[in-house]
Amino acid sequence: MSENVFETILENRCSQPQQLIEVLQDVQETFGYISEEAMTAVSKELGVPVIEVYRVANYYKAFSLAPRGRHVITVCMGTACHVRGAPRMLDEVRGQLGIEPGQTTPDKMFTLERVNCLGACALGPVVVLDGKYHRNMTPNKLRKLVQSVQQAEKEVEADAA
Amino acid sequence: MPPKLNTLEDLKQFRESLTSREAKVTTTITICGGTGCQASGSVKVIESLKAELAANGLTDTVKVRVTGCHGFCEQGPIMVIDPANIFYCRVSPDDVPEIVSETIRKNQVIEHLLYTDPTSGEKITKEADIPFYRAQDRVLLSQNRRIDPCSIEDYIAIGGYSALVKVLGGMTAEQVIQEIKRSGLRGRGGGGYPTGQKWQQCREAAGDEKYVICNADEGDPGAYMDRSVLEGNPHAILEGMLIGSYAVGANQGYIYVRNEYPLAVSNARKAIEQAKLFGFLGDDILGRHFFDIEIMRGAGAFVCGESTALMASLEGKVGEPRPKDVHTVQEGLWNKPTCLNNVETWANVPLIINKGAAWFASKGTKGSKGTKIFALTGRVKNTGLVEVAMGTSLRTIIHSIGGGPNDGVAIKAVQTGGPSGGCLPAEKFDLPVDFETLAEAGSMVGSGGMVVMDERTCMVDVAKYFIAFLQDESCGKCVPCRLGLGRMLEILTDITEGRGKPEQLDLLEDLGETMTHTCLCALGKTAANPVLSTLRYFRQEYESHIQDKYCSAGVCRELIQYSIDPNNCTGCGACLKACPNKAITGESEKPHRINQDLCSRCGICKDVCKFEAISIC
């Protein structure tokens, strides 16, 4: 883990156990997941037992304990998205990439996640790809979206070669 | 250097100076920059509009105001051009040059950008004439449309912080509490507890150190009014909390906001910084008060919307609720007296102080005063945020404002109150929406989600959806919730997969009743509502799943099969390409077939078929 980044995250937060969730948020955002190493360091700096850090990191859905793929597909499973066909978005990704929610493709290109509501209910079904919201999704649009990412990665690879 | 605003007179003068600064402005273009419209591409529209105005030398006379959510998210990106009040919807960056050359320069209305009323088919030019807006009473939401959430000046220009100055300039804490009590304001987060009473209890609680909290952990799926208010009008929340902190005697406040709402987090952070610069937050607030607010982000746990779990989470702990035999107004955050209110509740406070308790109490019903924002979503024509006086009927909301059924499929129910609420059938649509009436009917106002369901929605599946959601979100601390939800989900899965037995319906009711009486927190106590309300109003759907193994909505996958009608199938191959399971085979231009062993019954093929060749049987 990069020392400097970690120092910035912990700046003004040392020995403040109540900052645990905020710190873990920043670690998650910066590194994409919370490693064992990060948990140990957070425990030491905030003065919270490692077991407690682990318990909090494990309890809240926003934290991932394993590295995620280069691209994260988040399917909103809120009620409004559900009645407008959100389960089909999961079907589509399952069929296309062979992964279940919470899993990452073996090539580490995609992680599929589900979220219980993004608060963009009028636009359902909503799918978020790498932080960008896509409204009124259909399985067809989603397939093309995933293909466009695959295509872009291929081009980058070809350029590098 | 920001001005020092100590008195109402200072504030008034500053407001006038803001108006004179904009003397040259002849036209204001308002664009929604809320999460919804951003998802529809408003950021690019804003960029190209600014560039186009600059290229045309119009930046002095035309003001671009990027606001928070207007509520009509379905039609986004939304643009309103004032003073003509011209309303354009679904605006794309390509439309911008035409908007500048035609509407801004020549005052010409661009037909294809106007909103078409889905009921009459007519094009509507003015925002004020759109039925979706016209039937509402937008006391809170109308502010979103008039301010840039990142500008404290905008908020002051529409009268912001005058309630705070009024309170600190001449009201005692008791007077403030009396005013809130007289208004009849009740908690907007779901509980409906009288706000003034809560404040008084917190004020009277022993202890010098007290806290106020804004609950912006809007976890109910299908509700997003708190996001829109915090995102679009953060200073109103700060002002409400400031007044509340003065009334209860607190010097530290927290806004606990979902991390799924990044824009709300960043707008609220900016607002706090600005309020500090202007002296509305900090050590010396008009020489009468000191108060600070910190933002804490949630981390994706629905149960943290419950007050005691939220406070545990604020302390950096696992968000588990505790028994409420001692109330949080006595022992809350760090065991100190704590006053927690929801976003919308706080936002109503400055309005009540400014306009008076009598004004607020003149809206609504006997027991439920004021207006309430609802998130109208699901199978209805106009989806978005709707603000109406309490007591407005479901029919007015769903049909007059929502425009009624979508695609001509009859509406059969509305789900109100999120996972704690229930489903009400169309026969009950004349009920007035207030705390008591909805609770009597087996649902609740809750935080204000309203998901409309039509004949394509299976009510057993909806019940299963909520129970699965709640089981996933249950913290597992108390037995009835942990085991009850699991058992309920097993039964509902049996029913939706064709293994249901008639006696299981009684068992569901039994379990529901037990949970209602014995669970520790509100999550568990209300968890059975989606099941109990659907059993009450849609029992025949449960029975047909059990007896006939039939799902009339065609949703429950184990009970349906998709098949291709060879007479209608042209062999175009669209379904074959779309099927994620490769279950469809067939040669080009010859009828295709579905391999039922591979088919997951997702229905994607039916959606893509242009020839109506695929049906559910």
Distance CA B370, CA B383 (A): 22
Query: In this structure, are B284 and B410 located in the same domain?
Result: no
- Judged by DSSP in three states, B321 sits in coil
Are A86 and B377 a contacting pair, CB within 8 Å?
no
Q: With pLDDT > 90 as the criterion, what percentage of chain B qualifies?
A: 87
Per-residue pLDDT band for B160 (boundaries 50, 70, 90) equals very high
Q: Which residues of B touch A59 (CB under 8 A)?
A: 301, 318-319, 475
More confident residue, B264 or B7: B264
Flag whether B11 is in a domain. no
Q: Please enumerate in sequence order all residues whose Cβ is within 8 A of that of A111, keeping only pairs 6 or more positions apart, or say none.
A: A68, A69, A71, A72, A73, A99, A103, A104, A105
Query: In this structure, are B68 and B188 located in the same domain?
Result: no
Flag whether B13 is in a domain. no
Whether the per-residue pLDDT at B402 is higher than 60: the answer is: yes
The single residue listed with the structure tokens 């006696």 is: B503
Peptide bond into B3 cis (omega under 30): no
> Quick one: three-class SS letters along chain A?
CCHHHHHHHHCCCCCCHHHHHHHHHHHHHHHCCCCHHHHHHHHHHHCCCHHHHHHHHHHCCCCCCCCCCCEEEEEECCHHHHHCCHHHHHHHHHHHHCCCCCCECCCCCEEEEEECCCCCHHHCCCEEECCEEECCCCHHHHHHHHHHHHHHHHHHHHHHC
Of the candidates A22, A60, A120, which has its C-beta nearest B296's C-beta?
A22
Flag whether B255 is in a domain. yes
Angle ∠(B215,B138,B89) on CA atoms, nearest 5 = 100
Q: Is beta strand A110-115 parallel, antiparallel or unpaired with respect to A71-76?
A: parallel
Query: In this structure, are B344 and B375 located in the same domain?
Result: no
- Positive or negative: CA dihedral B230, B140, B337, B165: positive
Cβ neighbours around A63 below 10 Å, total: 18
Distance CA B179, CA B183 (A): 6
Distance CA B443, CA B422 (A): 4
Domain that holds residue B588: 561-616
Per-residue pLDDT band for B607 (boundaries 50, 70, 90) equals confident
Residues B54-63 pLDDT 10s: 999 999 999 9
Torsion of CA B224, B228, B230, B233, to 10 degrees: -160
Distance CA B113, CA B31 (A): 14
Query: In this structure, are B186 and B270 located in the same domain?
Result: yes
Which residue out of B217, B443, B604, B608 would a mutagenesis test of the A interface target, given it has the greatest number of A Cβ atoms within 10 Å? B604
Structure tokens of B551? 């799902």
Q: Which residues of B touch A46 (CB under 8 A)?
A: 316
Look up the pTM and report it.
0.93
pLDDT of residue A8: 84
> Quick one: three-class SS letters along B32-56?
ECCHHHHHCCHHHHHHHHHHHHHHC
Search chain B and give the residue with CA nearest A54.
B318
Q: Do B604 and A120 touch (CB under 8 A)?
A: no
Cβ neighbours around B543 below 10 Å, total: 15
The strand pairing partners of B250, in sequence order, are none
ipTM entry: 0.90
CA distance readout (Å), B457 to A117, B378, B415, B505, B538: 19, 10, 11, 20, 12
Are B74 and B32 a contacting pair, CB within 8 Å?
no
Does any CB of chain A come closer than 8 Å to the CB of residue B578? yes
Distance CA B308, CA B319 (A): 8
Q: How far is B366 from chain A (nearest CA, A)?
A: 31
Query: In this structure, are B235 and B337 located in the same domain?
Result: yes
Q: Do A138 and B607 touch (CB under 8 A)?
A: yes
Structure tokens of B90? 């679904």
Per-residue pLDDT band for B407 (boundaries 50, 70, 90) equals confident
Q: Do B301 and A22 touch (CB under 8 A)?
A: no
Task: Describe the crossing of helices B195-204 and B234-248 by its angle, rounded to 10 degrees.
Answer: 40
- Judged by DSSP in three states, B458 sits in coil
Q: Which of B366, B363, B383, B367 is nearest to B375 (CA)?
A: B383
Structure tokens of B568? 């209608």
The strand pairing partners of A127, in sequence order, are A75, A134
Q: Do A61 and B313 touch (CB under 8 A)?
A: no
Are B468 and B511 a contacting pair, CB within 8 Å?
no
Query: In this structure, are B285 and B396 located in the same domain?
Result: no
Q: Which residues of B touch A77 (CB under 8 A)?
A: 221, 469
Q: Which residues of B touch A25 (CB under 8 A)?
A: 259, 297, 299
* B276 φ, ψ (degrees, to nearest 5): -65, -45
Cβ neighbours around B503 below 10 Å, total: 9
Between chain A and chain B, the number of residue pairs with CB atoms below 8 A apart is 174
Flag whether B554 is in a domain. no
> Quick one: three-class SS letters along B234-265?
HHHHHHHHHHHHHHHCCCEEEEEECCCCHHHH
Query: In this structure, are B426 and B293 located in the same domain?
Result: no
- Range(s) of chain A covered by CATH 3.40.30.10: 71-160
Interface of A with B in 134-153 (CB under 8 A): 134-135, 138-140, 143
Flag whether B351 is in a domain. yes
Of the candidates A82, A94, A139, which has its C-beta nearest B578's C-beta?
A139
Query: In this structure, are B450 and B515 located in the same domain?
Result: no
Query: In this structure, are B313 and B204 located in the same domain?
Result: yes
pLDDT of residue B425: 97
pLDDT of residue A2: 61
Of the candidates A46, A84, A91, which has its C-beta nearest B580's C-beta?
A91
Are A89 and A125 a contacting pair, CB within 8 Å?
yes
Q: What is the CATH number of the domain that holds B37?
A: 3.40.30.10
Sequential pLDDT tens for chain A (161 residues): 566 777 888 888 888 899 999 999 999 989 989 999 999 999 999 999 999 999 999 999 999 999 999 999 999 999 889 888 899 999 999 989 999 999 999 999 999 999 988 888 888 899 999 989 999 999 989 999 999 999 999 998 888 87
Interface of B with A in 294-333 (CB under 8 A): 296-302, 313-319
Q: What is the CATH number of the domain that holds B593?
A: 3.30.70.20
Q: Which of B272, B453, B320 is nearest to A80 (CA)?
A: B453
Query: In this structure, are B237 and B160 located in the same domain?
Result: yes
| Residue at B349: amino acid letter | V
Flag whether B375 is in a domain. yes
Distance CA B22, CA B61 (A): 9
Q: How far is B514 from chain A (nearest CA, A)?
A: 25
Q: Is beta strand B123-124 parallel, antiparallel or unpaired with respect to B115-116?
A: antiparallel
For the stretch B44-51, contacts whose Cβ atoms lie closer than 8 Å and that sit 24 or more positions apart, written own/partner, are: B44/B93, B45/B77, B45/B79, B45/B91, B45/B92, B45/B93, B45/B95, B45/B96, B47/B93, B48/B93, B48/B96, B49/B96, B49/B99, B49/B100
pLDDT of residue B303: 93
- Judged by DSSP in three states, B594 sits in strand
Cβ neighbours around B85 below 10 Å, total: 12
Interface of A with B in 4-43 (CB under 8 A): 17-22, 24-25
- Enclosing H/E stretch for B64: strand B62-67
Q: Do B600 and A133 touch (CB under 8 A)?
A: no
Flag whether B479 is in a domain. yes
Of the candidates B220, B319, B580, which has its C-beta nearest A96's C-beta?
B580
Q: Which residues of B touch A24 (CB under 8 A)?
A: 299
Query: In this structure, are B195 and B331 located in the same domain?
Result: yes
Flag whether B12 is in a domain. no
Residue B490 zone, left/alpha/beta (φ > 0; ψ -120 to 50; rest): alpha
Whether the per-residue pLDDT at B320 is higher than 90: the answer is: yes
Distance CA B580, CA B569 (A): 19
What integer best gives the mean pLDDT of chain B? Answer: 94
Q: What is the CATH number of the domain that holds B214?
A: 3.40.50.11540
Residues B101-113 pLDDT 10s: 999 999 999 999 9
Whether the per-residue pLDDT at B432 is higher than 90: the answer is: yes
Whether the per-residue pLDDT at B228 is higher than 90: the answer is: yes
Q: Do A120 and B315 touch (CB under 8 A)?
A: no
Q: Do A83 and B224 touch (CB under 8 A)?
A: no
Q: Which of B249, B253, B256 is nearest to B275 (CA)?
A: B253
Q: What is the CATH number of the domain that holds B525?
A: 1.20.1440.230
Q: Which residues of A touch B469 (CB under 8 A)?
A: 77, 116
The single residue listed with the structure tokens 């500053």 is: B14
Are B581 and B600 a contacting pair, CB within 8 Å?
yes
Of the candidates B222, B379, B385, which has its C-beta nearest A117's C-beta?
B222
Whether the per-residue pLDDT at B240 is higher than 80: the answer is: yes
Interface of A with B in 73-112 (CB under 8 A): 77-85, 87-88, 91-92, 94-96
Of the candidates B40, B259, B319, which has its C-beta nearest A135's C-beta?
B40
pLDDT of residue B395: 96
Structure tokens of B424? 């009400």
Query: In this structure, are B416 and B349 located in the same domain?
Result: no
Are B447 and B188 a contacting pair, CB within 8 Å?
yes
CATH no. of A71-160:
3.40.30.10
Instruction: Please return the burial class of A107, using the count of CB atoms within 10 Å of its CB with bins 0-12, 13-18 and 19+.
Output: exposed
Distance CA B564, CA B63 (A): 56
Are B39 and A133 a contacting pair, CB within 8 Å?
yes
Search chain B and give the residue with CA nearest A64.
B299
Q: Do A82 and B578 touch (CB under 8 A)?
A: no
Cβ neighbours around B261 below 10 Å, total: 25
Per-residue pLDDT band for B21 (boundaries 50, 70, 90) equals confident
Per-residue pLDDT band for B1 (boundaries 50, 70, 90) equals low
Q: How far is B58 from chain A (nearest CA, A)?
A: 32
Q: Which residues of A touch B76 (CB under 8 A)?
A: 123
E strand segments, B487-598: 562-564, 584-585, 593-594
Q: Do B40 and A123 touch (CB under 8 A)?
A: yes
